[in-house]
Chains A and B, each alone.
Chain A
Amino acid sequence: MSNATTTIESLQPSSAAKFRQRTLPILIFAAVIFAIPMTDPSRTMYSLMHQIGINIVFALSYNMILGKAGLLSFGHAVYFGLGGYFCMHVLGWIEDGVGPFGNYPVFFLPLLGFGGGALAGAVIGWPSCRKAGTTFAMISLGVAELIAAAGFMFDSLFGGEEGISGDRMNGPEMFGLSLGPIDEVYWFIAFWTVVGVIGMFAFTRTPLGKLSEATRDNPQRVQFIGYNPQQVRYLVFIIAGGFAGMAGGMAAVNYEIFTPESLSLIPSGFVLIMAYVGGITYFAGPIMGAILLTYMQSMMSDFTEAWLLYLGLMFVAIVMYAPRGIAGIVFGFVDGIRGGNAGAYFTAWIIRLVGCLLMLLGAIVLIEMSVRWSNGYGEVFEPFGLHLGHTNVLTWILIIVPLVAGGYILRRASREEEEGAA
């Protein structure tokens, strides 16, 4: 490539690339959102969709600090919860028609949630964003414990153990939505999910968004291009808190109840897992993670009582073998297929998939059998009419053979890849 042909324009992504990477995903996203109600979903399906929408915004806001700014927080639910609690109080004021928000439309509550979360981020981030790394992580853990404990102590603010509940069908109606029936809430959730996704994507394209990546990569160098890394972190932290609060506001309207549990370490850990499993190096990663994990959370618990064990296994497997997450696997697959040797890549991929599935099969039989054995009710794992008790030899064959075979296939595949690369 010669310099003579290089111009400012040629360095920027072409309009075709822009369309493919930015406009097209948004169009597909919008099409999916409009298509979902046409399938006439059940109430369960609707509540799952709403939960997914809320978690998409929540996980993306978490990734603003983890993936983009390189700050590991164990307390992101604090901003979700405080934003949500603020919205619950506003719901109460709207119902009573009192205060400055007495006539506020419920539809725009997530905006107030954003404000609440951002304010909480501004207060808590002030001391904690001075340091990055382990110090920041420990402070976030301490703050999360502190706020969660406070949640159970200050009853008038947080409603004690039963929390605060409200009614979303008050105040002025927007866009003809009373927000009563669940299919009207759907449009509310869809609207704010899109606002959140576009807002946070746009943020990655701003000077501050780029500076947050720069600060993650090299805080020292940031000082010598004229920026204060502490201030970059602090500003990103406030905005991330705002988007978390926005998700909290969506949850407030959707569930009409908030309990102090929402501030605790459990949702903070869950959002970390959603973002990480999805892939923190990709913008779309946390979206994928939110969809998959929310689905697992609400659907897998119907199939197996050990679903948390599967979640943990999946998290460990991703951290160890696919640190770029589901998005890394998906985009890696697309790149591999598009690359020179599609056939060979596909074959290698299928072999790995078979290896993974075999190991999964062994793990499932082991887990399901052990859970029932340990419960001691004499219950037996019976898939496809098989009787897989712990005394059955077939059970142990079905555990050991797939685990060993799958492990062998995966080892061979990775060894071949190393040799191929060398």
Chain B
Amino acid sequence: MTTPALSLKNLSKSFGPAKIINDVTLDIAKGERHAIIGPNGAGKSTLFNLISGLYVPTSGTVSLNGTLISGVPPHEINRMGLSRSFQVSNIFANMTVRENVRCGVLHSLGQGYSFWKNIGTQKDVNAKTFEVMEHCGLLDKANTPAALLPYADQRSLEIAITIAGGADVILLDEPTAGMSHSETDRAVDLIARATEGKTLVIVEHDMGVIFNLADRISVLVYGEIIASAPPSEIRGDPKVREAYLGDEALPEEVV
């Protein structure tokens, strides 16, 4: 058996007496597209923060490609090949789109903290920045300050920065939140293209997006994973219906 890209073992996180994540065990294989769903306050964002290093687990472990990463600072986890986006747009507001993406590619191209190089003449940096912007459909807005972008483009930029470093495990936190239908379609298309061949973990509320993208779905309720299975099985799972979906009708067959 190959090592899973991401492996959570008995992971728990408490804030004081409040247990937010409770004994979560989950393996995500390389190349898998894994969705995490659950009602508001189930602990999805906390789970992301635990995986990406923003929080240190109260107990349990997180491993990335077999290496233990719980307790490692976020920037080092990032360098090991795990990148994440945020629920609210978390971009460099005073920089242009191009500068934002360029910041994202710097470390993967070995630029480090250098202060003896001119960033404008680094050919590999510029080429990679161009490629990522082209990939995310941001070329025509390259010189727009990020703060002035329309919301949907800010979300695209968020994804662009996330994938820019070339990480092979990508965590996306509600990438389509607040988008219109057509914007969502474009975002899903972008996510599918941008994460091709990579391991994707996505938190999402939009069921259409989930059933479109995911190979496997985990349902998180009150900090516990109550089911983890392919979309077709999740759809029929009575536990899931009761805990999460309630009366909401699931989309029938998603084409």
Contacts and interface: CB of A to CB of B under 8 A. Distances in A.
A221 B161 contact: yes
A11 B98 contact: yes
Interface stretch (A52-60, A227-235, A343-351): A227-235
Interface in B103-129: 103-104, 106-108, 111-120, 122, 126-127
Nearest to B143: A11
Contacts of A213: 92, 94-95, 99
A214 B90 CA distance: 11
Contact of A210 (B79, B119, B134): B119
B253 to A, nearest CB: 35
A211 B90 CA distance: 15
The A interface, classified by DSSP as helix, strand, loop or mixed, is helix
Contacts of B43: none
8 nearest A-B residue pairs (beta carbon): A226-B107, A223-B74, A208-B115, A217-B92, A226-B78, A207-B111, A206-B115, A8-B130
Interface residues of A, number: 35
Interface string A224-247: 111110011001000100000000
Given A3-B139, A217-B94, A224 B99 contact: no
A218 interface: yes
Given A3-B139, A6-B142, A207 B73 contact: no
A232 to B, nearest CB: 7
B119 A205 contact: yes
Contacts of B95: 210, 213-214, 217
Nearest to B106: A207
Nearest to B137: A3
Contact of B92 (A202, A214, A226): A214
Interface string B150-187: 00000000000110110000000000000000000000
A225 B106 contact: yes
Interface residues of B, number: 48
A203 interface: yes
B90 A206 contact: no
Contacts of A224: 52, 74-75, 78, 83-84, 162
A218 B90 contact: yes
21 contacts: A2-B140, A3-B134, A3-B139, A6-B142, A8-B130, A11-B130, A202-B118, A205-B118, A206-B114, A206-B117, A209-B119, A222-B75, A223-B73, A225-B83, A225-B106, A225-B165, A226-B107, A226-B108, A227-B106, A228-B73, A235-B115
A130 to B, nearest CB: 13
Nearest to A206: B115
A134 interface: no
Nearest to A216: B94
Contacts of A8: 126-127, 130
Interface in A188-207: 202-203, 205-207
Contacts, number: 118
Interface in B36-57: 52-54
A181 B250 CA distance: 87
B91 interface: yes
A62 B120 CA distance: 24
B75 A223 contact: yes
Contact of A207 (B91, B119, B139, B162): B119
Contacts of B90: 218, 220-221
A205 B103 contact: no
Contacts of A227: 75, 106-107, 113
B92 A221 contact: yes
A35 interface: no
A16 to B, nearest CB: 15
Contacts of B161: 221, 225
A206 B121 CA distance: 10
B93 interface: yes
Contacts of A228: 73, 75
A12 interface: yes
Given A8-B127, A206-B114, A218-B90, A211 B103 contact: yes
Contacts of B165: 225-226
A206 B92 contact: no
B102 interface: yes
A422 interface: no
